[in-house]
Amino acid sequence: LSPQESALLRSLGLSHKPSPKSPAPVPPVLWRIFHKRRTLPGPQAELESCRVEELNVPGSIVRVFADQGRFLPEGQPQGRLCLRKLLFFNLSALEEGERLTMAQLELRFHHSSYHGPSPGQVLELRLYRASPRGLPRPGRGPLLERSFVQLRKSLLFDLSAALKAGEAPARNLALLLEISASGGPGSPRSLCGASDAFAATSLLLVTLGRQCGAARSRR
């Protein structure tokens, strides 16, 4: 890189020039925030520079991290357990001095489940803190538990409190996701139909960059 390019990248908070290898599609929510900000007149854009109106939280950087985990154990889950997956997010892109204000986990399925489990049956979803190898943290209950009669194409979970918004997040985040079916007659495997449509997971983090802390005098 030329010295000028290095200096410019540093001023934009980047240590070196990114070279995306498998770029994911841009989540629609980021497009909405981006286009909304572009329509704001200069002074108003300035006022909202440290706030994400769309998500109603303070923030100047919104990142969407792709899940780098794997299914556990390898092969088909057994019994009433429909899905067991390690979710692993590499958060090393976060810089020193950034303050977390929002963490939202999204589970995406290939399609909504129109015919959920049989009457009286529900799908139960549990999320645990885990070690990077997928072992649940001993002695810790689930971060969250939900029951669903039908699964929608996209499920959003607010993990801000769990990740203690306001503190600097760790270099990575490992979670254990379990989806199981309970109640009602029928074979356990048939109960899991809806969760077989599991597609992908991503983590959206909103942080306040250093520029939002420093008050600067203006002429």
Residues within the interface to other proteins (CB under 8 A): 5, 8, 12-24, 26-27, 30-31, 33-34, 37-38, 41-43, 45-46, 49-50, 60-66, 90, 92-93, 209, 211, 219
Residue 34 C-beta: closest distance to other proteins, Å: 5
Structure tokens at 147: 């029951």
CB closer to other proteins out of 58 and 183: 58
Residue 167 C-beta: closest distance to other proteins, Å: 20
CB closer to other proteins out of 38 and 115: 38
Residue 217 C-beta: closest distance to other proteins, Å: 13
- Report in angstroms the alpha-carbon separations of 177 from 162, 172, 194: 15, 16, 15
Residue 174 C-beta: closest distance to other proteins, Å: 16
Residue 41 C-beta: closest distance to other proteins, Å: 7
Pairwise CA distance, residues 117 & 129, whole Å: 27
Sequence-ordered alpha helix ranges (H) in 99-197: 188-191
- By DSSP bridging, strand 57-58 and strand 51-52 are antiparallel
List the end-to-end C-alpha distance of the chain, in Å, as a whole number: 35
CB closer to other proteins out of 10 and 140: 10
Classify residue 1 as exposed, middle or buried by CB count within 10 Å of its CB (0-12, 13-18, 19+): exposed
CB closer to other proteins out of 13 and 186: 13
Neighbours of 128 (CB within 10 A): 19
CB closer to other proteins out of 115 and 218: 218
Pairwise CA distance, residues 115 & 186, whole Å: 14
Residue 84 C-beta: closest distance to other proteins, Å: 25
